[in-house]
Amino acid sequence: MNTLPTAADDGDFAAYVQESWPALVRSAVFLGCTPHEAEDIAQTTLVRCYAAWPRVVRADNRTAYVYRMLLNCLRDSRRRRWWGERPTEHLPHDPTPAPDAMSVVDTADAVHRALAGLGKPHRDVVVLRYFAGLTEAETAEALGVPAGTVKSRLSRSLARLAADAHLADLKPDLTGDLS
């Protein structure tokens, strides 16, 4: 029987939190957590404790029950591949700047518009071959057409895409002008 805590239980729980918070945090630190991590573990424990408050109150030994929850929370946090923020004195140097969010959106929009300008058979070939990464033979099999048809559709599609105005800004300048 899993019932939610009542208003009367809220008062009992608040008093329990006031009483047990320092000991839970201290225990988590002694179990190997950093002080900030210990606060997170204690908070997670108390959230779980609140959700199961009727069971906690009925437990033979409330303290042991809550500390078991603390150990489970700590164990769960250690199982994750990423443990959250890691404070450091020096930020790592990232040699590659993050792409401008608007340029990513603009590029995606240009590609979508250019692909929409192709007929369905040509768009299918381009998407399967270049975006899905299928080989020419796999593309032909997926579309139920001969490999030669895939090659000819790709040739025509790429010529149309090269001339598409939507993609004009994405083309590199191959004129050799370095000024």
pLDDT tens digit sequence for 72-105: 898 888 776 555 666 677 776 766 777 777 877 8
Are residue 117 and residue 155 in the same domain, yes or no? yes
For residues 45 and 56, what is the distance between their CA atoms, to the nearest angstrom? 12
> What is the extent of the structural domain holding 135?
101-170
For residues 96 and 148, what is the distance between their CA atoms, to the nearest angstrom? 41
**Position 179 in a domain:** no
Provide the domain count of the chain: 2
Closest C-alpha to 147, from 9, 155, 79: 155
**Position 47 in a domain:** yes
Are residue 108 and residue 65 in the same domain, yes or no? no
Are residue 114 and residue 73 in the same domain, yes or no? no
Q: What tens digit of pLDDT does each residue of 2-48 get?
A: 555 565 568 889 999 999 999 999 998 888 888 999 999 999 999 99
Residue 88 pLDDT: 73
Higher-confidence residue: 112 or 94?
112
Residue 131 pLDDT: 78
Residue 110 pLDDT: 85
Q: What is the pTM of this model?
A: 0.44
Q: What tens digit of pLDDT does each residue of 169-179 get?
A: 776 654 555 44
**Position 86 in a domain:** no
**Position 133 in a domain:** yes
Residue 179 pLDDT: 44
For residues 88 and 109, what is the distance between their CA atoms, to the nearest angstrom? 39
Are residue 65 and residue 109 in the same domain, yes or no? no
Q: Which amino acid is at 153?
A: R
Q: Is the Cα dihedral 30, 31, 34, 36 positive or negative?
A: negative
**Position 85 in a domain:** no
Higher-confidence residue: 146 or 97?
146
Residue 62 belongs to a domain with what CATH number? 1.10.1740.10
Using alpha carbons only, what angle is made at residue 82 by residues 79 and 85, rounded to the nearest 5 degrees? Answer: 130
